[in-house]
Amino acid sequence: MTVSFEEYAALARQLSAQHRAGEQHAAAESARRRDLHAAVDYLQQRLTAQGQRLDQLGRAIGIEQPPPAPGPGTPGETAAWPGPPSGAAAPTAPSSGPPFAAGAPTVPGTGDGEPGGAAGAPGRAGVGAYPQLPAGEARLALPTAVSPAGGGVPAQRAVAADPAVELELARRMADEADRHGQQAELLAQRPALLPTWSPLARAVAVYAGCGAAAGVLVLMLVLASGVGLVDGFTLGAWICAGLPAVAFFGGYLVLGRWGRPAMVAGTPPRYLPLGFLICFLVVPMAYCAYLLMVRGLR
């Protein structure tokens, strides 16, 4: 059979086109692999940064990091292998029983030459664990994959996942983790006490509250003074200096304990002059208000 020049040239062009298509496909596959590797490296860097930021958040709120899990080569670690305990008897073949196929494995016994129950003598009369097979019909049973949908039908092989789709899902999860991390940081930058208030308004509210509590104590001291339990000098000392100082230091401690955000470096302002002025004004004003109320009722 002879091949003409035209047929030879057409065959050469077809082979050349197939070769170019193969080169283009290989170049596209190489570019796709480079893009996948670059995406994997980028995600790895993001996950590393997220892990470090989570460690910082955990240390800021007082969570201790768990120790790393010991590896398989850790000294002192004993690998747990499946099998009989150290004191179990070695497997032995039964001295009597139904015939088995050539090459059949031995079965465990009790150590005295007797088979160890139903698991030790399959097919033995009186045990009833497995049906007894004749000597000529003993066959080697091969394991078969059975799907849960139907008995005896081989299970379908799982479809291979697309790396690009998996990387896109991982990127979305990383974006979601970044969003939750930013929300956690915003929450960590707020104090536990009146988190939506400004620092100045929070300080005014705390010092005013402590001064009001001291004002209630002033009223109790005035009532005690009225029945003769407290003299006038002690009452004046507590009204002018003692209770205002207690209210001031109470507000100072409350702002330091519950008014400090977890993620803010340093100490937030506590407005000491403002707190001193509020506490040393509220307590005497409470006493004056009590006097005016008593005179008004008279």
Supply the mean pLDDT for the chain: 75
Largest CA distance in the chain: 137
d(CA 230, CA 227) in angstroms, rounded, equals 8
Give the pTM. Answer: 0.52
Percent of the chain's residues with pLDDT above 90: 23
Confidence of residue 144 (pLDDT cuts 50, 70, 90): very low
Left if phi > 0, otherwise alpha if psi is -120 to 50, otherwise beta: which for 287?
Answer: alpha
What would the pLDDT profile of 148-200 be if each residue is shown by its tens digit?
454 555 556 666 778 888 888 988 998 998 898 888 888 888 888 998 899 99
What HEC string does 94-139 produce? CCCCCCCCCCCCCCCECCCCCECHHHHCCCCCCCCCCCCCCHHHCC
Left if phi > 0, otherwise alpha if psi is -120 to 50, otherwise beta: which for 82?
Answer: beta
Residue with tokens 């003409």: 4
d(CA 279, CA 251) in angstroms, rounded, equals 9
What would the pLDDT profile of 203-256 be if each residue is shown by its tens digit?
999 999 999 999 899 889 888 888 888 888 888 899 889 999 999 999 999 998
pLDDT of residue 205: 95
pLDDT of residue 65: 63
Letter string b/e over residues 81-109, b meaning 16 or more CB atoms within 10 A of that residue's CB = eeeeeeeeeeebebeebeebeeeeeebbb
pLDDT of residue 263: 76
SS3 call for 2: coil
What would the pLDDT profile of 254-294 be if each residue is shown by its tens digit?
998 898 887 776 677 899 999 999 999 988 888 888 888 87
d(CA 221, CA 235) in angstroms, rounded, equals 7
pLDDT of residue 48: 92
d(CA 138, CA 149) in angstroms, rounded, equals 30
d(CA 131, CA 286) in angstroms, rounded, equals 97
Nearest one of 244, 236, 246 to 291, comparing CA atoms: 236
